[in-house]
Structure 1
Amino acid sequence: MDDGDPRRVLRGATYRGDGAAVVEALGRLESSACLQLGGDGLVLALDQQVVGSEDLADRWIARLRDRDGEGDAELADQIAARLGAPSPMLRPLPVELDALADVLEGDPTSPGGRIDLATGDVWPIFADFLTDMADDEDEEREWLEVPCYGSRPAYRDMEAFIATIDREVRREALETAIQGRGAFRRFKDSLAEDERTRWHGFSEERRRGRARAWLADQGFSVGPRRV
């Protein structure tokens, strides 16, 4: 792990369930760049009663509500519930939001996927998957069907990111890059190094937020991961 990349450290700490490392990583990050990812880590830090997590939680809730992007209100409510606010009437499910986003925003020709409601595992649907799961054991499982909305949300992310760039000449270059077929490849090839780093965080935040909002619409919240 590269200790020079606080976002990577945060992601790893959240995945491992290390609340103390989450709080430490959040102290090294600009919160507006990691409200979704950091919020998930903060929930587990609060559950572990890590020193400093409650102070961070108050600020996180305020910033999520102020930004008010997709999934921000749901995450703010989840954090607030750890501080004693009424808990959202959602069933906790240990879903990996990145995996869910991959299915929701995958190839538009994809039939989507499923979430195993016993484990939270996200499964893209392929022909061999359908064959393997068409047995007696599958009939006993409970599934949540996941649609595929294709790449349009990701295209809007590129447009929104370009609008944040101060230099007009860079905005115009990237606006040109995303016109027509091959827009995603040209966009990524056109990013400067500092823009690429910021883009990865920007895109991840929005994808996680959309996946969280979709999950809440189905009656679920992101629960603690089983380790």
Structure 2
Amino acid sequence: MRLAADAPTPDWNLLEAAFECADLELRSYYDTVTGEVCVTGPFEDDPGERERIDADPQRYLEIDHVASREQYRWMERFALEEVADERLRERLLRALTGRRVFRRFKDALLEEPRERERWFAYHSSALRRAIEQWFAERDLPVGTPPPWARSPGDGPA
């Protein structure tokens, strides 16, 4: 992610929400001038927002939701690489087969509160990497780094 003094500071919290949004009726856009996240859909607050976005497509970049197959890979990697308890690992991997894998994966973690918290931290980290990668792929500068970014003096990650 490239820093530039004259670049906008993104609304990092809204970016996280936009990337993770599962509502396919909603579309989110990053305003490259202000750093704001604009959301359009059936119940948008500003009826003229869609027209502004359409009128200046270079300024507003659509934010793709993180694909469910990518989120599936996050769950799979977490189970395989992060879970030391063999029985829990097997339960999580079984949850990843068949239907409703996202619900079953989270349900399998309900009995293990510490592992559940580790999963949420892992998921958050993966989501934030996806956001950083999105900016890097588009060579979009930002005025300030995201709040989760560590400065060199913070020690090991």
TM-score by length of 1: 0.51
Query: Which residues in structure 2 correspond to 1:157-168 (within 5 Å)?
Result: 157-163=74-80, 164-168=82-86
1:194 partnered with 2:111: no
**CA distance change for structure 1 residues 151 and 101 in 2, over 3 Å: closer, same or farther?**
farther
Q: Which has the higher helix share?
A: 1
Number of equivalenced pairs:
140
Question: Which whole-Å CA distance do the structure 1 matches of 2:75 and 2:52 have between them?
Answer: 44
Q: Please tell me the residue identity of whatever aligns with 2:87.
A: V
For structure 1, which runs of at least 5 residues remain unmatched after alignment?
A: 1-73, 79-87
> Equivalences for 1:60-75 in 2 at 5 Å?
74=1
**Superposition pairs of residues 1-227 of structure 1, within 5 angstroms:** 74=1, 92-107=7-22, 109-110=24-25, 112-129=27-44, 131-134=47-50, 139=55, 142-163=59-80, 164-191=82-109, 192-224=112-144
Q: Which amino acid aligns with 2:106?
A: K
Q: 1: CA distance between counterparts of 2:53 and 2:100?
A: 42
Distance 1:135 1:199, change over 3 A: closer
Change (3 A) 1:156 1:138: closer
Question: Distance in 1 between the 2:61 and 2:134 partners?
Answer: 12
Report which structure shows greater RCO (CA 8 Å, sep ≥6). Answer: 2
**1:95, distance to aligned residue in structure 2 (A):** 1.8
Q: Give ranges in structure 2 of 5+ residues lacking alignment.
A: 146-157
Cα pair distance change 1:137/1:213, threshold 3 Å: closer
Structure 2 CA distance for partners of 1:102 and 1:202, relative to 1, 3 Å: same
**Structure 1 ranges of 4+ moved more than 6 A:** 88-91
Deviations 1:40-67, CA, capped at 9 Å, x for gaps:
xxxxxxxxxxxxxxxxxxxxxxxxxxxx
The answer (yes or no) to whether the contact 1:159–1:175 under 8 Å persists in 2 is yes
Q: CA deviation at 1:101?
A: 3.9
Q: CA deviation at 1:137?
A: 9.9
Root mean square deviation of aligned Cα? 3.2
Change in CA separation of 1:99 and 1:208 when aligned onto 2, cut-off 3 Å: same
Corresponding residue SS for 2:29: strand
Residue type matched to 2:41 in 1? F
Give me the whole-angstrom Cα distance separating, in 1, the residues matched to 2:60 and 2:53.
12
